[in-house]
Structure 1
């Protein structure tokens, strides 16, 4: 998990970008690369009684990781697919609830309180890192350096 279902894009084009795409997505999602599954679906589109090319569409099935990560993942998928000469692509996210997801007959949500706390702390840490990065970019764009007091406040 995450699982990307890809339609309307030739498999050889996805194969060409799969390594760099998964490496980037794993960094955004803070999980190992082998958690990702890319499936290129062979689809047949029909319109007006004729066979037509399938529209490029990626469905991302995952456990939600928040808006910032979702935006980064969508931008990465879009950029990688468009790098293959594909002019446009649509991306949709489907979030699974942990208490409704089973692996080998066992509910995934059976995590300990410590694991839940660690997950929450990691999420908060990522949020703070994202805020710090935005503040640094804003400071650089303004042409000034960040004061040490501001930097220390953002680090905390």
Structure 2
């Protein structure tokens, strides 16, 4: 509980990480290796992270196609330096495990007044 309170006071509660265009086994491995590194980089407790694999189909010119990994990070606003560091960590680990040529990382900043847990915003 103390960890959660400290994280809330710093504003470093969550993030939620969503992955697309990655195999299930790769996503499991990525979530495992990213947890400790991102926790250290963001100063958020490991139990505050969630990882999600979104199964999706990509199309180009009307045909099914493969895509590069697309990673979305939903979190409360953090300093640019922290965001840059996390983007590098995510990119490096995804490239190491899934071996794609390109990796896209997108950060979605959430307002604490728009984020509700059990009916109450932060």
TM-score bin (small chain): 0.7 to 0.9
Return the offset for 1:17.
2.7
Q: Which residue is 2:76 aligned to? A: 63
Q: Which residue is 2:4 aligned to? A: none
- Structure 2 gap ranges (5+): 1-13
Q: Which residue is 1:89 aligned to? A: 103
| RMSD (CA atoms) | 1.1
- Number of matched pairs: 108
Q: Which residue is 1:12 aligned to? A: 25
In 1, the alpha carbon distance for the partners of 2:88 and 2:73 equals 13
Higher strand content, 1 or 2 = 2
In 1, the alpha carbon distance for the partners of 2:52 and 2:39 equals 16
User: TM-score normalised to the size of structure 2?
Assistant: 0.83
Q: Equivalent of 1:48, from 38, 61, 81?
A: 61
In 2, the alpha carbon distance for the partners of 1:50 and 1:20 equals 34
Task: Name the larger-Rg structure.
Answer: 1
List, as ranges, runs of 4+ consecutive aligned residues in structure 1 with deviation greater than 3 Å.
Answer: none
In 2, the alpha carbon distance for the partners of 1:73 and 1:32 equals 15
Q: Which has the higher contact order (CA 8 A, sep 6+)?
A: 2
- Structure 1 gap ranges (5+): 109-156
